[in-house]
Structure 1
Amino acid sequence: MDESTLTRRRLLELAGIGLGASALAACTAGIEPAVTSPAGPLTVRTSSGSFVSAYRQGVTSHWALAAPELPAGGARPQLPVAVFLHGLGGSHRVLLDGLAAHEALQRHVDAGGTPFAVAAVDGGNTWWHARADGSDTQSMLVKEFVPYLGGEGYDLGRIGLFGLSMGGFGSLLLASQGRLPGVRAVAAMSPAVWDNYDSRIEGAFDDPADFAANDVFALRPRLAAVPKRIDCGTGDDLAATVRAYRAGLPGAVEGGFQPGGHDDGYWRAILPDVFSFLGRNLA
């Protein structure tokens, strides 16, 4: 793997978009071998890097990105970007290793779908919201990672959110809370959602007040104008609650319930349809 470090000039540019000095000092990027298709007009390439997040108590957060490489020369339009939120026990690596999203994205653009980038960052097991221990991975996304993507030339007026399990919950929560005005669509795969507080929910909430502040069931009316897709396997233990959550959403909801469980095999199977949904809404 060939690696390169962001130039001093690029780091200075990033200083104006919200990353702290410690994060900038640790920010690195690398280029992976291309995923190629002889018939495809664009080639998807991947990159990776890391930064120290002010919202994760100094923890180094790694990220991964896959994007079609636009032809050189002439006007180069900004690509929209879909931000992926991983599940419990996962990391940024789920995007490319577990889901093989770069391969699915190559097939998407080869088939004539709207080109866009996909990006993921480590969120730990924080359930993508502010926690009593002082971590706040939702703010890391909003104030550090997404601005970084904007500084790299991606269109922050056309943002998609998608995630699985804990990250499906996080995607729905962030879209509902409206902290990213450029969100054009949200897709949740097997989202871990609950309609009431239970202290046994694997550390998802600190206490009943934390649950109430991040209750995606109560926040459903705020998704009325947001294009949304929600999928879940019929063999998933979360299916009943996901069905109840979908039933109370305002407006149209794409996706549905397909044979499958709570695993990479199911998520890889539905990812092409998720990318088609995102592409249509990020066009």
Structure 2
Amino acid sequence: MEFPTLGRRRLLELGASGVTAAVLAACAPVPEGLEVATASVHSGSFTSKFRPDTGTNWSVAVPDRGADGDQRPLPVALFLHGTGGDHRMIFEDLRAADVLSQHVAGGGTPFALAAVDGGESWWHRRATGTDTQAMVVEEFIPLLAGQGLDTGRLAVFGLSMGGFGALLLASQHRIPGLRAVAAMSPAVWSLHDAARTDNFDSAEDFAANDIFALRPELGALPKRIDCGTSDNLLYSVKDYVSGLPGEHEGGFQEGGHDGGYWRSILPDVFSFLGRNLA
């Protein structure tokens, strides 16, 4: 398993179960005279009691704050991937380590970026016994604390299936003191579709995880939601956003349900996360 080339350095090949550290140089243009930061990406795996039939891999990107920078433990932005993806999605498809480097180089609040495998579970407990939401809360977040990160300052964000998962996790208050939630093109529906079983096991399962009904739970939490104007989910996302209590950031920009759109908004998403993790 190997990361693609990001910046001018190539990430080291990952072991099947070990932890690998790599450093990459940010290669996107920066303002003249601005020093370019770097981000170290560490990866590993663990065995989850909530995903007993498969290994669970993870990656964490940590920005370089320099010898003179604030060396206190970093807050964490936790990313939940979409369908067909895994912990590498945010780094391979969206080049997030480069974006994080540029965010810090531009004076944004430094934070660690963490991602973990969730399979096709839709980030909630399923009839099979898989429960990736519990895996995140009870296993992965403590693992991040063990890596020396400040999990008392944590935000969650995701895209598509993971956008739904991030909103659900925030709405169900599974993370005490959560600082913010962001969703890119979240896969949200106001009604259960009995013809589908990939996202919910039954009407009862849908009702237990109905984020439309849970919208009042997000009233006080900083939130950002974005969706492309050519995305098939646009009208459902607009419907969801129209009933959100309190203020929210984000919007509906030109683009589809694809990496090009998500890469275009990721710097603004990181700015939102950084402000609320400060």
Q: Taking structure 1 as the reference length, what is the TM-score of the superposition? A: 0.88
Aligned equivalents of 1:75, 1:200: Cα separation in 2:
52
Partner in structure 2 of residue 252 of structure 1: 247
- Counterpart mapping for 1:1-283 below 5 A: 2=12, 28-36=18-26, 39-40=34-35, 42-72=37-67, 76-201=71-196, 203-283=198-278
Deviations 1:62-92 (A, max 9, x none): 1111111344589721111000000011111
Could you tell me whether the CA contact under 8 Å between 1:157 and 1:182 is conserved in 2?
yes
Q: Which amino acid in the other structure matches residue 266 of structure 2?
A: L
Shift of the alpha carbon at 1:177? Answer: 0.4
Shift of the alpha carbon at 1:153? Answer: 1.2
Partner in structure 2 of residue 14 of structure 1: none
Q: Which amino acid in the other structure matches residue 268 of structure 1?
A: R
Q: Which has the higher helix share?
A: 1
Deviations 1:255-281 (A, max 9, x none): 010000000000000000000000000
Q: Which amino acid in the other structure matches residue 130 of structure 2?
A: S
Aligned equivalents of 1:109, 1:40: Cα separation in 2:
10
Aligned equivalents of 1:267, 1:92: Cα separation in 2:
16
Could you tell me whether the CA contact under 8 Å between 2:99 and 2:266 is conserved in 1?
yes
Percent of residue pairs identical: 57
The unaligned stretches of length 5 or more in structure 1 are 6-25
List structure 1 segments (4+ residues) > 4 angstroms apart after TM superposition. Answer: 1-5, 72-75
Shift of the alpha carbon at 1:149? Answer: 0.4
Aligned equivalents of 1:159, 1:246: Cα separation in 2:
23
SS at match of 2:152: strand
SS at match of 2:19: strand
Could you tell me whether the CA contact under 8 Å between 1:28 and 1:51 is conserved in 2?
no
Q: CA RMSD in A?
A: 2.0
Aligned equivalents of 2:244, 2:108: Cα separation in 1:
27
Could you tell me whether the CA contact under 8 Å between 1:50 and 1:63 is conserved in 2?
yes
